[in-house]
Structure 1
């Protein structure tokens, strides 16, 4: 029996997010006859931590917030202690591997840029692979971008989540990555369709635009809310349901109160199963200022919900404008015009629904798993 390739994935925590869902999909679907997989989770934290496959080795390092004391003083002390431990082991990675990871690996994987330093500082003689999902054209901090790009260049291989993600680095910085490939994220349409029927969702005000994403300023929900108010003022009754949690929640709640849209701009927080909220909506809107290759777009296409999305990142590699979705610029007027079109033209949205029935065939997960497997095997052979 051939020797299995020993692979270590490292990640910080498992809050609901696109990277976390991509990571879980890989952990579930990489072939077990070829790979011996270990997952090292720095913080045992987040809604998805219990979704890690049971047939891989799962190492957790520090307690998550969910498992800490409800007493404010004790909790503060626990967080301080945790932070000190994390700092110590970040400065002494050889001790982390000796005391906690305790194994040798052929390949070490950074699923996102937050893990670049951790993987690059590994004391192991492994081949190191990075995933990069970030559209650097959005980030105004050139120093931060160059730091990430320079770290990327230190990896043995880089997997980019879309063609645009790699091309924009060439366009803006004239930096090329010959040791790289573009592999799209797998999109589990059948699973989304199945989960969408698990429970009913009733909205008070139709038509409903659903949306899903982490509540971060670059997701542009503050602009979407302004568009919502304008459309209401123009007599176009509708509501918006946003699924996702994050740091912008309080700001968005305050904005909704100021604009008087608390009942029609619904902030539903993170949901373990978001799909019933989407399938019971009439349309989907993604207002982001930056994306790579978002799983949500493919899943919503599979649910046969017409989509308005900003024309950013790898999204035009997923949606064909005016055929199976509608692309707009990430500014208030463009989003307004797109949503107004959906609210006033049932013909265009019905055409999208019809075309989506065929379009979803473009998402081939088996091809994606084969491409990842090939990269891992090639890097293992180069390790020698």
Structure 2
């Protein structure tokens, strides 16, 4: 008899966790599992990549109203006589304007959003909050399930979350999954009482899909003597793309001919555009926006660069490995789970000078470049078999 599984995530916008979920859903054995998906917002470029077997739940009507603008949502709640929800929407708005970390705002305002979701009627065999914070809180408070799983995709120390708040929620889960051994070690130290619940399931990447999509033709303004650098990710502070822009300026000042292509979108786009303009890099540093197929750009790269301030485990780095692209990455806390310096990439200090030096070493040192490419070709990266770890949690 098929088991009923629910996955929960805020949306399917461009992001590592979102891409990881789509990859996972493409691997699931639908002869043995029925899969529902709960989205806070039914939007995102990855919606079109969901397998046809996945059933997206209808958004609760009160949550649809709650997600609207402050003025519209309050007015609709008042018209419908739902004074408590109108009050919760106001407090939710005020709470999200407080000068505290994004994670703490999300934690402290959760109880006001919770009232708009209520309890989902169906009872599941397994419910999975697939992204830290709200996805996990929905799983714990709003879902009926025989087994519950939380998922943490990042270095918890960098979240700036309220540990006591999360500790209360960890007690409600049968398992807490994270994406790397380093992330597991961090959680085990932070949440000692729950360390026996913590499991590692790495982000699933598919070499078959990546190689297929990388063959899509694109036209780029690249001269024959330019080295192409590609970075992929959400345009947000933790991804460190401001460091990348400064590194590009240094490389240009040294007379190196490069074209740096940044694939992604986010709240930092305007500030990055200003930096690019102010540093005279409009011909060298290109923002091409978000796309569900970054591999068509990655295929054009000579070098892949990940300038992050922190990561859980970078999906983009594993994808670059699959296409045999030498990688330069900053020394964020979990990087050694993915790279060995001078073997399959270059690890640099987290500043623009060090990053530019790492890139330059690959441009001018043909032997190093060739050696890294050779090592990448002899490495198995694809992680489709990680799905069996999930089956083990479901069936255990």
Give the match's secondary structure for 2:124: coil
Aligned length: 359
| 2:395 is the counterpart of 1:371 | no
Give CA-to-partner distance per residue, 1:328-377, whole Å, 9 cap, x none: 22222321221121222122111111111111x143422x1111101111
Counterpart of 2:299 (choices 264, 279, 282) is 279
| 2:176 is the counterpart of 1:158 | yes
Q: Which residue pairs with 1:267 in the alignment? A: 287
Contact 2:309/2:350 (8 A) holds in 1: yes
Contact 1:42/1:60 (8 A) holds in 2: no
Structure 1 unaligned blocks of 5 or more: 68-73, 379-384
| 2:274 is the counterpart of 1:254 | yes
What is the TM-score with the length of structure 1 in the denominator? 0.85
Give the match's secondary structure for 2:195: coil
Counterpart of 1:178 (choices 192, 196, 200) is 196
Give the match's secondary structure for 2:127: strand
State the shift of 1:12 in Å.
1.4
State the shift of 1:175 in Å.
6.0
Give CA-to-partner distance per residue, 1:120-139, whole Å, 9 cap, x none: 11252531101111112334
State the shift of 1:248 in Å.
0.2
Give CA-to-partner distance per residue, 1:140-190, whole Å, 9 cap, x none: x3x535533543343111111111112123456756510121111111122
Mapping of residues 319-330 of structure 1, within 5 Å: 319-330=339-350
CA distance in 1, matches of 2:390, 2:229: 35
Q: Over the residues paired in the alignment, what is the CA RMSD in angstroms?
A: 2.7
| 2:177 is the counterpart of 1:138 | no
Structure 2 unaligned blocks of 5 or more: 78-84, 90-111
Against the structure 1 CA distance between its residues 358 and 153, is the aligned structure 2 distance closer, same or farther, given a 3 Å change threshold? farther
Contact 2:152/2:177 (8 A) holds in 1: yes
Give CA-to-partner distance per residue, 1:25-68, whole Å, 9 cap, x none: 222222223222111222111111222221132214179xxx9x
CA distance in 2, matches of 1:275, 1:78: 40
Q: Which residue pairs with 2:103 in the alignment? A: none
Return 83-92 or 21-30, whichever deviates more: 83-92
Against the structure 1 CA distance between its residues 151 and 328, is the aligned structure 2 distance closer, same or farther, given a 3 Å change threshold? farther
CA distance in 1, matches of 2:215, 2:75: 44
Contact 1:62/1:82 (8 A) holds in 2: no
What is the TM-score with the length of structure 2 in the denominator? 0.83
State the shift of 1:225 in Å.
0.7
Q: Which residue pairs with 1:103 in the alignment? A: 122
Contact 1:17/1:214 (8 A) holds in 2: yes
Q: Which residue pairs with 1:47 in the alignment? A: 45
Against the structure 1 CA distance between its residues 145 and 223, is the aligned structure 2 distance closer, same or farther, given a 3 Å change threshold? farther
Give the match's secondary structure for 1:288: coil
State the shift of 1:76 in Å.
8.0
CA distance in 2, matches of 1:309, 1:315: 8
Against the structure 1 CA distance between its residues 62 and 174, is the aligned structure 2 distance closer, same or farther, given a 3 Å change threshold? closer
Give the match's secondary structure for 1:272: coil
CA distance in 2, matches of 1:326, 1:313: 15
CA distance in 2, matches of 1:182, 1:167: 10
State the shift of 1:200 in Å.
3.0
Give the match's secondary structure for 1:138: helix
Return 211-220 or 27-36, whichever deviates more: 27-36
